[in-house]
Every structure is written in structure tokens, then in C-alpha cells.
Amino acid sequence: MEWIKREIERLFEDLGFERIFIKEDTVFKSEKVYCKLTFIKTFKSYVIEYANSYEEAKNNLYEDGDLHAITLDLNDLLLALRKEIVASMQND
């Protein structure tokens, strides 16, 4: 499963996100959004959590995105995540 996480992290980097650390959490930062990748064991899924500012991220005030099951084909999983991430970058 760690390899899936690495692929998702590479997706963030390919989309121009910078990897930073906020309170021991790995966070991916763009100009408009801070994203935290979380695995939810119960659902065997990843979720991307979104914050609109450094202050929101620092105070753990994230909004949850969609659940993305690791049972999906890797290409389908990455495509769905890419669509969600790109949409988050376009929101004001």
C-alpha cells in the first residue's frame, strides 16, 4: 500500500504542488490550496483533505474530499484523484 501512497504523492508533485510539513503532517501546497492525504483503513480508501490557507491547515481545519478506494485500478484511482485535485485548484 505504501507504493500507492508514493504514486499519489508523485501526482501532487506533477501538478506543481510543494511538499511541506505542518505539525508533523505532510501537506501539499499550491497557490490556492493546502492538501493532506489521509488513508481511512475502515474504508480501504484515501481521502484528500483541503484547507484554503496556511492558518486553516495549521489549525487542522480541513474539508474532506471524496473517498478513493485502493481497490480501484491504479490508473483509475490516479485519474479520479487528478480530477479532484485540479478542481480544487480552480475553486476560489
Is residue 42 helix, strand or coil? helix
Statement: residue 1 has pLDDT above 80: no
User: For 19-55, what is each residue's pLDDT tens digit?
Assistant: 999 999 999 999 989 999 999 999 999 999 999 999 9
pTM: 0.90
Task: Using pLDDT thresholds of 50, 70 and 90, give the confidence band for residue 71.
Answer: very high
Between CA 80 and CA 4 the distance in angstroms is 14
- Cell digits of residue 13: 508533485
pLDDT, mean of residues 48-64: 96
Instruction: Provide the 10 A C-beta neighbour count for residue 1.
Output: 10
Question: Do the bridges between strand 34-40 and strand 63-69 make them parallel or antiparallel, or are there none, so unpaired?
Answer: unpaired
Task: Using pLDDT thresholds of 50, 70 and 90, give the confidence band for residue 91.
Answer: low
CA dihedral 84, 48, 79, 92 (to 10 degrees): 20
